[in-house]
């Protein structure tokens, strides 16, 4: 138990923080934005409060990995997330985040992992999510997301895992999904989808399909 001390922000050369699997509480230190951080791994702790504070947003020019799943962070993802131009990992699963997934997230062109499952995100999936050509994994299950599944997801040629179950999605599974030749896992049960499943015969590695 205990919090992350403010003194850590005085280590001017600190580029990685790896604190996975502890019992740390409270919020991140106010001065964290002053560090040249490239990796912030604080997964599986008990941090609370907003993650995307002004201080945190100051890390946009350096941060490449944010793994903050399994905490109690709250608040929303701001449009300013677009400034994290080097971000490859955004892991926010199992927290208390709310609000919509901002369209600005589609400007993170280096992003490989977008993990937002088990929060209370609302609204729709950004229609231009297919612009994130390097995405390997998207997890959006157990939220309150509505609307359709964007056709542009079919442009994610490297996508291996897509989990959308337990939301309020409607419409059909796009025909473009037949282009997801690297897909291994696709889950979309417990939604309001209708229509036919498009032909997926070219997805040779698909081993888990749950509609």
pLDDT in tens, 130-164: 999 999 999 999 999 999 999 999 999 999 999 99
At 11-63, the pLDDT tens digits run 999 999 999 999 999 999 999 999 999 999 999 999 999 999 999 999 999 99
Bridge partners, 193 (sequence order): 171
The domain 2-210 belongs to what CATH superfamily?
Ribonuclease Inhibitor (3.80.10.10)
Q: Are 72 and 42 in contact (CB under 8 A)?
A: no
Range 91-111 average pLDDT = 98
Range 174-202 average pLDDT = 90
Q: Whole-angstrom Cα distance, residue 125 to residue 138?
A: 11
Q: Whole-model pTM? A: 0.94
Write the CB contacts of 7 (distance below 8 Å, at least 6 apart in sequence). Answer: none
pLDDT score for 205: 63
Q: Are 185 and 208 in contact (CB under 8 A)?
A: yes
Structure tokens at 49: 């409060």
Q: Return the higher-pLDDT residue of 2 and 87.
A: 87
Strands 208-210 and 72-75: unpaired
Nearest residue to 56 (alpha-carbon basis) of 25, 71, 78: 78
pLDDT class for 111, splitting at 50, 70, 90? Answer: very high
Range 190-198 average pLDDT = 92
pLDDT class for 210, splitting at 50, 70, 90? Answer: low
């Amino acid at each position: 138990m205990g919090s992350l001390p403010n003194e850590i922000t005085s280590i001017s050369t600190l580029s990685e923080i790896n604190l996975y699997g502890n019992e740390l509480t409270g919020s991140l230190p106010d001065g964290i934005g002053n560090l040249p951080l490239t990796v912030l791994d604080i997964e599986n702790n008990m941090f609370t409060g907003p993650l995307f504070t002004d201080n945190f947003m100051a890390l946009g020019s350096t941060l490449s990995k944010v793994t903050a799943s399994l905490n109690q962070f709250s608040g929303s993802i701001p449009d300013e997330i677009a400034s994290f131009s080097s971000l490859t990992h955004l892991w926010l699963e199992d927290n208390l985040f709310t609000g919509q997934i901002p369209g600005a997230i589609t400007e993170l062109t280096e992003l490989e992992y977008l993990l937002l499952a088990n929060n209370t995100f609302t609204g729709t999936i950004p229609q231009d999510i297919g612009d994130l050509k390097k995405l390997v994994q998207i997890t959006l299950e157990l939220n309150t997301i509505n609307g359709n599944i964007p056709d542009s997801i079919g442009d994610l040629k490297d996508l291996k895992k897509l989990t959308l179950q337990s939301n309020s999605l409607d419409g059909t599974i796009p025909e473009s999904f037949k282009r997801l030749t690297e897909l291994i896992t696709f889950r979309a049960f417990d939604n309001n989808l209708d229509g036919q499943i498009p032909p997926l015969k070219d997805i040779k590695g698909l081993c888990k399909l749950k509609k």
